[in-house]
A and B are shown apart, each in its own frame.
Chain A
Amino acid sequence: MATEPQTTSPRQDLMALLAQASQSELDAVIERFAPLPRVEDVRPAEVGLCMVRGRIGGDGSPFNLGEATITRAAVRLNAIIGVSYLLGRDPERARAAALIDALWQDTAARPAVEEALAPVQTRLTALREVEAASTDATRVEFFTLVRGED
């Protein structure tokens, strides 16, 4: 199979979490660090597209499946550049995510950022557990019937 090894850095894990957090969840994290020093919008939040690719047969040669809307932003906070890319059209949420990415890169602030983000992880985990349980309830076993004569 042509799949790359599944190695993600802590920053990628952070970004995966930020991409699925709601505006109010992100705002609650930022709130903890108020008042913030001056935030410079290095790249004001911008909506665009990305071409989503799949693979033939699931694991073969790549092909273009279709596009998805994404929003990206970059901010500078205490000389640290925070970046975000997320699915959907949401400039405000992208800016907030970039801001948290910048806060997180400051190793002194990182534990506090991660602690503030814990409720997001808890919510997502709970959501997935419910989804997994209700999906699992539809697990089937098919029986093939053997006829006496054959």
Chain B
Amino acid sequence: MYVAVKGGERAIRNAHDLLAQTRRGDPEVPEIGIDQIREQLSLAVDRVMAEGSLYDRDLAALALKQARGDAIEAIFLLRALRTTLPRFGATLPVDTGTMRVRRRVSATFKDIPGGQVLGPTFDYTHRLLDPSLATEAEPRKPAPAPKKSAQAKAAQARAAVQEPSAPPPRVVDLLGDEGLIEPSPPDTGAEPPDLTRAPLAFPAERETRLQNLARGDEGFLLALGYSTQRGYARTHPFVGEIRMGAVQVELFAEELGFAVPLGEITLTECQMVNQFQGSAEVPPQFTRGYGLVFGQSERKAMSMALVDRALRWQELGEEKTAPAQDAEFVLSHSDNVQATGFVEHLKLPHYVDFQAELDLVRRLRAEHAARGDSEPQDEPTEAAEATP
């Protein structure tokens, strides 16, 4: 009856050795360096940092190497590592308004103060495989500085109402100045809830939801965001602004009595502008969904903003009709480390559980057969038994 789950040490050890060997691949091919992963697979590194919820490019690159490129496995490694480190505190909230912008686009206004810069984007590429990347040919150098053509000068003049080096103002503020869009929820000075300290509980505040979404699985959020566009909790989204670039991080140090600048991190921010009918108290105005993600990760930031907005149905007096609005469903299933843990644990030994189930089925069948001796049997049961 009882099946002991013991032993297997030798097999496990050998499997780990085999894994290491398989990870290395053909020894004739030079081994990949952490620096190569960090520099050349930078978006994979960004994804691991975002969902691993740990900003450290070198660690994320190392995790990717160890995980043979499996993003979720690498994310798992980062999550495990963070539990071994002490926390020195929380930073001052980063100011994305002062971002050194490397990309900034708006789908709501053609001409925005500060202008639109495409930056390093896949947008407008033809999605044709480039055979030259299979060789070691140098890529074409990016254009050094814009030529001051009459057109460029005109654009510059329009864009540079403020001094050219000043960070561009937020696009949503242009609407905010006219009261056409809801303001951000004010800072009450309260400590934001922290999912790494207190488990997820419902109803979850918007701060908790955003923390959850920021570390949530990109694919899951993408699918949910997509579902809102297809009519499951339609929110009429427009990309008010996407910006990506470096922001300064500062930590208040007790012993010094001031905030210490720690260096810069790269973030992607998405301000989604959505429709709202208004109510008896509130005149019609646009509403907002917000996305903020470690690294360059526009798809994730946009998906996050869509889902953030969908989850606000109650606050905005909307009807709950779709999965993307269900905080309990969304937030409980967004974490891919938890999800993979529970799904993948199914392959681990369940011999005892299964033995109990097997026993139960045998007993039920015996009872069924005993009943069958006295009563006429149903046809479908016979058919089911005939299948292998």
Contacts and interface: CB of A to CB of B under 8 A. Distances in A.
Contacts of A66: 49-50, 53-55, 211, 214-215, 294
Nearest to A138: B118
Contacts of B8: none
Interface in A1-54: 1-4, 6, 8-9, 11-12, 15-16, 19-20, 46-54
Contacts of A138: 103, 117-119
Contacts of A142: 110, 116
A141 B156 CA distance: 10
Interface string A130-150: 111111111111111000000
A12 to B, nearest CB: 6
Q: Quick one: which of B87, B142, B251, B259 has the most chain A CB within 10 A?
A: B251
Nearest to A90: B58
Given A64-B207, A70-B88, A134 B144 contact: yes
Contact of B263 (A19, A56, A135): A19
A133 B117 CA distance: 11
Contacts of B259: 12
The B interface, classified by DSSP as helix, strand, loop or mixed, is mixed
The A interface, classified by DSSP as helix, strand, loop or mixed, is mixed
B87 A65 contact: no
Nearest to B294: A66
A51 B294 CA distance: 12
Given A52-B249, A86-B263, A60 B94 contact: no
Contacts of A69: 54-56, 59, 85
Nearest to B50: A66
Interface stretch (B17-25, B26-34, B183-191, B228-236): B183-191
A43 B59 CA distance: 24
Contact of A50 (B59, B87, B111): B87
B214 A58 contact: no
B27 to A, nearest CB: 30
A104 interface: no
A16 B187 contact: no
Contacts of A143: 110
Contact of A48 (B86, B165, B210): B86
